[in-house]
Amino acid sequence: MKNNEQEITDLVDLKNFVDYNQEIKENGETFQKVMCIYKMALKELNNKVEIYQEEFKTFYNYELIDHINFRIKSPKSIIKKMQDRGAELTYKEMIENINDIAGLRVICQTQKDIYSIKRLIQNIPGIQTLKEKDYIKNPKESGYSAYHIILAVPVVLSTQLIYVKVEVQIRTMTMDVWASLEHKMKYKTQKAITNKQSKEWINCAKAINKIDEKITNLTIKT
Ligand code: 0O2
């Protein structure tokens, strides 16, 4: 058998790495191991995106990527999301249906850059795109706009190669400010926001989308 054939038969999904139907125990050893694999995938992807960031800055004198953030979803948020969706608390449900356990956010200057970054990320050798959502062309009702991609990122371990889901959100600096504040207002404060405030947030997002479009057009022309 040729080397590459060997590799292909060894490809496994994370769901085969743990007992598929086991119930999730937040403080258990299995949960820690699964989270560790998600962290590895995130590190792997972050490294690659950082290389693009440096490449564009150094070789093309262009700040394609302003900054990168990443996080692993907290056990509490994972369980809450599963409960909200009425899912059984098993690893199978978690791995198959919760796409944003590992999340990487790439922040850039213009909407045009979002599409360049998206293409670069999707062309990283070995990485597969599982799902993508273009909230730039079709902003959410809230006005939120970004490009979201769910990727399968290969993590090479000593005896096997595992594909792990990572959610990438690419958004402009202006939308990032709006989204961070709006998210904090909606989910992290104890007080519910009023209808009037909610409409104001939507208006702000719409205004930002218009400005982002104008900035993109200006930078294309110059
Ligand atoms: P957090 O704390 O940011 O992680 P999926 O199962 O992935 O296909 P889902 O989860 O509905 O479906 O994904 P979607 O809509 O593509 O992305 C959800 C995430 O996008 C949110 O994560 C936010 O980070 C961001 N987002 C989407 N809509 C809004 C919005 O209206 N306002 C803000 N501020 N952010 C938004 P979480 O899980 O809410 O939280």
Please say whether the beta carbons of 171 and 111 come within 8 A: no
- Tens digit of each residue's pLDDT (9 = 90 or more) over 127-160: 999 999 999 999 999 999 999 999 999 999 888 8
Distance 182 CA to ligand 1 centre (A): 12
Distance 158 CA to ligand 1 centre (A): 34
Which DSSP string corresponds to the chain?
--HHHHHHHHEEEGGGTS-TTPBP-TTSHHHHHHHHHHHHHHHHHHHHHHHHHHHHHHHH---S--EEEEEEPPHHHHHHHHHHTT--SBHHHHHHH-TTSEEEEEEES-HHHHHHHHHHHHTSTT-EEEEEEETTTS--TT----EEEEEEEEEE-SS-EEEEEEEEEEEEHHHHHHHHHHHIIIIISSSPPPHHHHHHHHHHHHHHHHHHHHHHHHHHH-
Please say whether the beta carbons of 58 and 41 come within 8 A: no
| Interaxial angle between packed helices 195-221 and 111-122, expressed in degrees from 0 to 180 and rounded to the nearest 10 | 80
Distance 104 CA to ligand 1 centre (A): 12
Q: Alpha-carbon distance 100 to 130, whole Å? A: 12
From first to last of its 222 residues, the chain has per-residue pLDDT tens of: 344 333 433 446 776 678 878 899 988 899 999 999 999 999 999 999 999 999 999 999 999 999 999 999 999 999 999 999 999 999 999 998 999 999 999 999 999 999 999 999 999 999 999 999 999 999 999 999 999 999 999 999 888 889 999 999 999 999 999 999 999 988 766 678 889 999 999 999 999 999 999 999 999 865
182 close to ligand 1 (CB < 6 Angstrom): yes
**pTM to 2 decimals?**
0.92
- Tell which one of 183, 202, 204 to mutate to probe ligand 1, the residue whose CB is within 8 A of the most ligand atoms: 183
